[in-house]
């Protein structure tokens, strides 16, 4: 796993620590994903995992 992917994973973990994803946190995560103008398969998987947690009700959107 690349350093960028590890940074993104940590960012997501921190954002979800309280079980709520704010709009600002979501935007911050998306900015990190698109920062280098490329979305790696690992970044896509992390984003999909986040979306799944939201749709499954594990994470609340605020």
In this predicted structure, the answer to whether residue 1 has a pLDDT above a threshold of 80 is: no
**C-beta neighbour count of 36 within 10 angstroms:** 10
60 in helix, strand or coil? Answer: strand
Taking the model in full, what pTM does it have? 0.89
Domain parsing of the chain, residue ranges:
3-61
Structure tokens at 62: 């605020």
Is 11:28 a contact under the CB 8 Å cutoff? yes
> What is the residue whose two structure tokens read 């979305």?
39
pLDDT single digits (tens) 10-62? 999 999 999 999 999 999 999 999 999 999 999 999 999 999 999 999 999 99
The alpha-helical segments, DSSP class H, found in 1-62 are: 3-16, 23-34, 41-55
């Amino acid at each position: 796993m690349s350093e960028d992917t590890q940074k993104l994973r940590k960012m997501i973990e921190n954002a979800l620590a309280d079980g709520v994803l704010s709009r600002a946190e979501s935007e911050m995560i998306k900015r990190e994903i698109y920062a280098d103008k490329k979305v790696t398969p690992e970044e896509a998987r992390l984003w999909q995992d986040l979306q799944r947690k939201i749709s499954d009700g594990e994470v609340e959107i605020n």
